[in-house]
Structure 1
Amino acid sequence: MDEVVFLEMNRDLGFDGTIQTNRKSSLLAEMVRLNYILQQINDFNIRVAESKLDAIDILSDVEHLSSQLDRWLDELPDHIRDTRENLERFSALGLGRMFVAIYLGYYHFGQMLFYRFLHEDSQSTSIPSRHYATKCKEHAGRLCDIVYSSETVPNCDAKYNMVGHVLVIASTVQIHSLLFESNETNVTLAKKRLEKNFCIITQLCALWPTLDVCMDRLMAFHKACRESADTSFCMDQWMVRFLVEFATPVTDKTSPVSDGGHWSLAELGITSD
């Protein structure tokens, strides 16, 4: 049922079958469809980490899952598409945060699916790898943008703790651009996003103390990049845990025990102007 129709129901009206319902216009119904795809993406990443798929099977599964994400997006009605106009309209209806949550899910699922190709993008000239690595960067960038937009439209701000995790993953994609991107415009954009994400995650940590784990994970990832940029994006079991087990602390990738400590923009090589 459309959320607007549901919210307008009352005791006097009841539900007698005359109310028009359309699941294709329901935000929650779209979330359910997306979560089914996420389950498949998580299973895929785990199977690959356990070396249960060869290169041909990996590309085949990625193509299949990618097509599911594309189909979900293509089948959306115009009034649910990610536009500023729609964000403002759902905000006026009191559904802005739910609208933002849908696209946080969609963009996060995409960056999770295509993340493995970031390593190959910096290591090979394979056309499929470059294509999927680009899609990962696009999803991560759009994820950042929807979070930023949510802060500028009333009643759309996303303050729940899962936002911290998805922003950490999106931030590591920005780190990849800083390390390997040759286009200076893209490097500058990645730097700005990384700085803004850091500030947002820090603000979220004040609301959700458990999100300190997310920031520690980002710092552990950054340390891995400093120690070995060429292997830090390799989709091994450590990386799968980093992507999937978002509430679990991770040790340093190259040593059994993390050195912990405070985190700051300077540690990421970012300084505020």
Structure 2
Amino acid sequence: MSDTWSSSALGIPRAIDPLADYTTVPMPMDERAFICLPSDDDDKEEGVTSLRQPAITTTTLRPPCGPEHSLIAQMIWLNQLLYRITCMNADVAAGRIQAVALEPTIRRLSTALDDWSDALPADMHNTSDNMTYWADQGFGRIFVNLHLNYNYAAQLLFYQFLHWNQDADADADPNADTASPATVTAPPIPSANLYAQKCTTHAAALCALVYHARTHRDTDVSYSLVGHMLVVASTVQIYTLLFSADEAAIAAARDRLERNFEIITTLRRYWPCVDASLGRLRAFQNACLRCKEQSFRLDRWMLRFVLDYGQAIQEREETDAVDEGGEGDEAYETEDVGRLFG
């Protein structure tokens, strides 16, 4: 999991094969069963207080307790999908996937995400009761992280359709400026509007999960990567502000932007690296001020934006000028984009 995130963040090749046959690799056991295992001290020393959490006993376990009931194992399976989505976005940005060939890939990945979510054990679904349950067991933050990764992966999968849906709307507008980038013919993806809606839904779900998790000390996720996730989700809110005609959606997006900025600023107190996330959000806002339609196009700049959370990002116009000149970050040259993730 760390390899998937870190390799893209730092622009380096992966060290571990993410597509290994996990059917032959033992998965982590149920965390609740693991924490109940006796330690050497329990066996050798009498009268020593156990380090096991008192809230976790064999009676709290819900059999069966196989790998499918492990939060970490579920994270590993989800990570395979995140890797495939990352590779697909790299191929799109590099121009290696044509529009007519893209929808089957999107459909397969979307179905795989749905299947993963549907197959989760009942006590792992993203509900308030389940969050409380896992917090009581001492694994609340892992539970929250699992669903943050799910919504983030889905958001990345459908992100490019914000732009495509926008193009389709512009083409349908007889008064649209034909010289505007927004009137570029949209790729022939019949489900572009549906996918755009899914992107906004998952971005909203990611924000809501962070807000809810912060209300309980045992589920509050305050690690630096949350800042990056909220930045990407915030750009979806910016899209709603720029293009939506739904006043309720606009008000909700504005509220999320304010809350996200507050949370990112709070994280900055503990993680100086979150400054990079704030800088990325400012760069995106500046890009929107210059050309709001171009800002949501999945190109090499946007690939850097959504993946390279560990590195500073140039202003979009600076990167565009470099790309047009045939030079730029070697790691993202067309023929080399894929090697970062493979």
Cα distance in 1, alignment partners of residues 282 and 71 from structure 2: 35
Q: CA deviation at 1:231?
A: 1.1
TM-score, normalised relative to structure 1 = 0.89
Comparing 59-68 with 185-194, greater Cα deviation is found at 59-68
User: Equivalent residue for 1:152?
Assistant: 215
The residue type equivalent to 1:81 in the other structure is H
1:48 counterpart = 2:92: yes
Native 8 Å contact 2:301 2:319 kept in 1 = no
Please give the per-residue CA displacement for 1:200-249, whole angstroms capped at 9, x wherever unaligned: 00011111001101100000001000110111101111001111111111
The residue type equivalent to 1:159 in the other structure is S
The residue type equivalent to 1:54 in the other structure is Q
What secondary structure is seen at the aligned counterpart in 1 of 2:35?
A: helix
Q: CA deviation at 1:256?
A: 5.1
Alignment partner of 2:303 out of 240, 244, 254: 240
1:204 counterpart = 2:267: yes
User: Equivalent residue for 1:269?
Assistant: none
> Structure 2: 5+ residue runs without aligned partners?
1-28, 44-62, 170-188, 321-342
> Structure 1: 5+ residue runs without aligned partners?
14-18, 258-273
Cα distance in 2, alignment partners of residues 110 and 26 from structure 1: 21
Q: CA deviation at 1:122?
A: 1.3
User: Equivalent residue for 1:181?
Assistant: 244
User: Equivalent residue for 1:9?
Assistant: 37
Q: CA deviation at 1:154?
A: 3.1
Cα distance in 2, alignment partners of residues 237 and 45 from structure 1: 10
Q: CA deviation at 1:255?
A: 2.5
Cα distance in 2, alignment partners of residues 94 and 154 from structure 1: 11
Cα distance in 1, alignment partners of residues 212 and 91 from structure 2: 35
Cα distance in 2, alignment partners of residues 158 and 129 from structure 1: 33
What secondary structure is seen at the aligned counterpart in 1 of 2:107?
A: helix
Q: CA deviation at 1:20?
A: 6.2
1:121 counterpart = 2:149: no
What secondary structure is seen at the aligned counterpart in 1 of 2:316?
A: coil
| Greater relative CO (CA pairs within 8 A, separation 6+) | 2
User: Equivalent residue for 2:83?
Assistant: 39
User: Equivalent residue for 2:139?
Assistant: 95
Alignment partner of 1:219 out of 275, 278, 282: 282
The residue type equivalent to 1:106 in the other structure is Y
Cα distance in 2, alignment partners of residues 154 and 218 from structure 1: 27
Cα distance in 1, alignment partners of residues 84 and 122 from structure 2: 26
What secondary structure is seen at the aligned counterpart in 1 of 2:167?
A: coil
1:162 counterpart = 2:225: yes
User: Equivalent residue for 1:73?
Assistant: 117
Q: CA deviation at 1:153?
A: 2.2
Cα distance in 2, alignment partners of residues 212 and 248 from structure 1: 11
Native 8 Å contact 2:161 2:195 kept in 1 = yes
Larger radius of gyration between Structure 1 and Structure 2:
2
TM-score, normalised relative to structure 2 = 0.72
Post-superposition, which runs of at least 4 consecutive aligned residues in structure 1 deviate over 2 A? none
Alignment partner of 2:292 out of 222, 229, 232: 229
* Structure-2 change in CA distance of 1:256 and 1:135 (3 Å): closer
Aligned CA-pair RMSD = 1.7
Cα distance in 2, alignment partners of residues 64 and 82 from structure 1: 23
The residue type equivalent to 2:34 in the other structure is F
User: Equivalent residue for 2:102?
Assistant: 58
Identical-pair percentage: 38
What secondary structure is seen at the aligned counterpart in 2 of 1:224?
A: helix
